[in-house]
Amino acid sequence: MESLAALQVNAAALPAALMMTVAEIARRDDVTSAAVSRSVKRLAKKGLQVTRDGNNRVTGINVAQYDTLKGQHADPAHAQAPKAKAAKEPTTYEDARTRQALYDGELTRLKLAREVGDLVPRADVEHAMATAGHRIGNVIDNLAGSVDELAAAYTTGGLQGLRVKLKELVHKARCDVADVLDAGAKGESDA
């Protein structure tokens, strides 16, 4: 499963024509607002871009991303069932063309991002984060093995010797953490 979370675009920076409310999507898809709200809640966990008000309520949904994720993660057993036909809101031809062009452009941007590798599977990101966290934990745990070095530095140089040795160990730990993160960024399995 791919996540759009890896390709974050500020939802507030998207054109208004790409952002729709729950009610607008429900009207467009001929389903209930509750069905759309459930889908939005589920898809937001997979990276759907939404704008929220001060009370954390969804006020806008990236409709191209919604449709893309809906297609990828739809559960046929719980597909949105159409409700009774409602009268469509009248729109001008130019408004409809503009909205369609923006929608097509956003779909193309998402497809291109997936093809060039800017959009990565969520599981891969989560695995890389867990691996890096484990390896960074090992670097930190290895500091405990430096007690004898620290004691020797204190014995020979007092507090100043201890400070110098501690700075050396911190520098080495930072370099080791950087190496772990670089290896993870390059996709290497060993650090």
Closest CA to 47 of 1, 3, 87, 94: 3
* pLDDT tens track for 79-102: 555 544 544 555 788 888 888 888
The SS3 of residue 153 is: helix
* pLDDT tens track for 60-81: 888 888 888 887 555 555 555 5
106 HSE (CA, 13 A, CB side):
27
Average pLDDT over every residue of 173-184:
88
Beta bridge partners of residue 97, listed in sequence order: none
Residue 1's pLDDT is 39
- Whether 136 shows a pLDDT value over 80: the answer reads yes
CB 7 within 8 A of CB 113: yes
**pTM of the complete model beyond 0.75:** no
Average pLDDT over every residue of 116-131:
81
Angle between helices 63-73 and 33-44 (to 10 degrees): 80
Residue 180's pLDDT is 87
